[in-house]
Amino acid sequence: MIRGRLLAMRGRRRFVMAALAALGVGLAALPAARAQSEAPEDPGPRRYGDAGTSEISLLLGFSSDAFAVGGGFRYFVVDGVAPGVEGAYLNAEGPSQGFTFASVRVVPLRFDALAIVVTGRTGRVYLSEHDDGWAVGGDLGLLYFPSPHVGLEIGYEILQLLPDSFCEDLNSCVIRRPVLGLRIIF
């Protein structure tokens, strides 16, 4: 009787050990199986405005009596939203102008070779022979991508100059102008 019980206990122990071993092997294989089932599909080529991409904007313009230089940088923190900084200097008829802006670009609609962009900006405005002021506003634009890393932008910008005392001796407290730009995306 005792011998029968001992044999039964050994059998149970072997069964328990085999079950624990099988459970251990199953648990060890679980992360690999989960990783295979959760493997991301090939997302394809990156598009303008994808999270983690950056943009450099360049401004260079000149004529016989004017020139402009400037640039900016944006980083897309989430798909379609990029905070950034911009700066520009323009010398034309009238006082020279300088701008330093903080901006946020939103890309509400994007395709492989085309994107609609809305950019809000605010910052300092510097005028030669004049007190400095502020500006707030933005632009609406269309970006065309002749290649995956180069974009050409056309748009329209409106900026409100602040305070009113800053612009009371200027022609207007609102700047309206076209936007033509080159964007380098990486």
Residues in Cβ contact with 29 at an 8 Å cutoff, skipping those fewer than 6 apart:
none
Q: What does the pLDDT read at residue 65?
A: 83
pLDDT tens across 121-178, in order?
999 999 998 999 999 999 999 999 999 899 999 999 999 999 999 989 888 999 999 9
CB-facing half-sphere around the CA of 179: CA atoms within 13 A: 25
Mean pLDDT (the chain, rounded): 83
* Rounded CA separation 136/99 (Å): 11
Beta-sheet pairing, 54-62 with 81-91: unpaired
Q: Is residue 13 scored above 80 in pLDDT?
A: no
